[in-house]
Structure 1
């Protein structure tokens, strides 16, 4: 007989486990969302009790089911040129400051995390191509990461709905996308311009693979963490940044309330946070 509900005790047990693995803490207000997806995954694995499923989650050597659960538990909601005033800050303020202090043979590295379905990293590439004349003189690497493997697959495909591209001017749609019915396919050139990787922000060993980053776009991720997880993430991002590097957060987020490691920079276009030079 299949299980039709998750007990309060089992919810708390799962919540603690998922928090330790991902840094994401589900409040009681998310019970319906969490329970529904847990029951779906239990059914998919023919687990007739929560404890059977939970044991598999904890001890499965491949970690395949944990990844599948992470994929359905994480929210991916974005669109092209979201909060693009930060893109303007990138080309008008951040990049000019960075290139003034380095040689042209050193690549500029931009990291978009979480990638979601790719609108942000591809949007950064489009904005640079259209608005930063110095791009012809600099090698720019764009990396984009997410914990959700399914959404990374979607990002690599570069296939978008009308809603996702609604903020893009018509001339950019025509230039960088191929339309088929109500769907838009991003150009191969842009797909080749972004390197997509899977990373769990709460895993120090995975985060140590990212170093020498000049600009991080981490928008609307930390709102899903509690204070302890936010602090750990902030320290990992600080270590990932090159000296003088910047991090951009979502409009409702403030690094000043999370960590004192960063310097607040109030540029004409946006408030961002900087790793001090020489550190």
Structure 2
């Protein structure tokens, strides 16, 4: 079989196409990573060249191959209690502000995007159960979304490696997980507490139904976007938040460098960003 090669022109065409579809911009430093996965899918689909594969990718009505490729191209590196100070901020500072300003008993809504394999959303659920007394009085909805259907399946299953749970306190590990060989299976109650959904942040049709959130966690995603995509994402999150709602970014990300829509909130535990109250 002829070895498939990805030329500079091929890489450029693919990079522009994938950027339009997902908002993710691959720098030339990622060339080896991208080429390897493209060749893998060219061969897996039985295409005889990048050109024939790329034509199929663009014109396939179902979009199944684009989803397969997206699953390969997205990075899903995470673990439980990552950047824990933000979860402390959620229960100690943010949620008390939210409930104080609530005029009804509607659920508190939290959106985690990207979901990755579910550690962040499940950490939110555990933190609320262990550290937030308000949970006895308030209903909370946790929705966790990702563009990668494979990683969403893993999140729903909720089975994790020793490395993934290494920062989970021993009492929590005993309470919420069951040892399964070398892995840890998260309990059914927590799996029922989180709704996992597929969302492409760059696709308005996907994000339009996501509204009226009190808190959004979007950590370490925008580093893969360029300035235009980051600004568009900031506007999408602005529309998804209730007036006065909050968004948490990764430690190396700054909303003030992306958009002027939000105001900076400096809490004792963390700096996060807030959608201003109307009026």
Secondary structure of the equivalent of 2:216?
A: strand
Matches within 5 A, 1:24-39: 24-39=24-39
Is the contact between residue 3 and residue 48 of structure 1 (CA under 8 Å) also seen in structure 2? Answer: no
Match of 1:114 in 2: 114
Residues of 2 paired with 1:88 and 1:2: CA distance? 55
Kindly state the Cα deviation for residue 141 of structure 1 after the two structures are TM-superposed. 0.1
Secondary structure of the equivalent of 1:83?
A: coil
Kindly state the Cα deviation for residue 105 of structure 1 after the two structures are TM-superposed. 1.8
Residues of 2 paired with 1:24 and 1:181: CA distance? 37
Which residues of structure 1 form unaligned runs of 5+? none
Residues of 1 paired with 2:204 and 2:3: CA distance? 36
Is the contact between residue 4 and residue 50 of structure 2 (CA under 8 Å) also seen in structure 1? Answer: no
Kindly state the Cα deviation for residue 63 of structure 1 after the two structures are TM-superposed. 0.2
Is the contact between residue 147 and residue 198 of structure 2 (CA under 8 Å) also seen in structure 1? Answer: yes
Is the contact between residue 81 and residue 168 of structure 1 (CA under 8 Å) also seen in structure 2? Answer: yes
Match of 1:78 in 2: 78
Q: Deviations over 1:169-209 (max 9, x none)?
A: 11100000000221100000000000000000001121111
Matches within 5 A, 1:127-142: 127-142=127-142
Is the contact between residue 152 and residue 198 of structure 1 (CA under 8 Å) also seen in structure 2? Answer: yes
Residues of 2 paired with 1:169 and 1:94: CA distance? 23
Is the contact between residue 3 and residue 39 of structure 1 (CA under 8 Å) also seen in structure 2? Answer: no
Kindly state the Cα deviation for residue 65 of structure 1 after the two structures are TM-superposed. 0.2
Match of 1:60 in 2: 60
1:188 aligns with 2:188: yes
Residues of 1 paired with 2:246 and 2:142: CA distance? 14
Secondary structure of the equivalent of 1:264?
A: strand
Q: Deviations over 1:216-250 (max 9, x none)?
A: 00000000000000000000000000010000000
Secondary structure of the equivalent of 1:39?
A: helix
Kindly state the Cα deviation for residue 102 of structure 1 after the two structures are TM-superposed. 1.1
Residues of 1 paired with 2:233 and 2:104: CA distance? 30
Structure 1 stretches of 4+ moved >6 Å: none
Matches within 5 A, 1:16-55: 16-55=16-55
Residues of 2 paired with 1:231 and 1:2: CA distance? 43
Residues of 1 paired with 2:22 and 2:197: CA distance? 16
Is the contact between residue 3 and residue 49 of structure 1 (CA under 8 Å) also seen in structure 2? Answer: no
Kindly state the Cα deviation for residue 270 of structure 1 after the two structures are TM-superposed. 0.2
Residues of 2 paired with 1:23 and 1:230: CA distance? 8
Secondary structure of the equivalent of 1:121?
A: helix
Match of 2:163 in 1: 163
Kindly state the Cα deviation for residue 150 of structure 1 after the two structures are TM-superposed. 0.1
Match of 2:90 in 1: 90
Is the contact between residue 104 and residue 137 of structure 1 (CA under 8 Å) also seen in structure 2? Answer: no
Q: Deviations over 1:15-34 (max 9, x none)?
A: 00000000111111111100
What TM-score results when the alignment is normalised by the length of structure 1? 0.99
Kindly state the Cα deviation for residue 104 of structure 1 after the two structures are TM-superposed. 5.1
Work out the number of aligned pairs and report it. Answer: 279
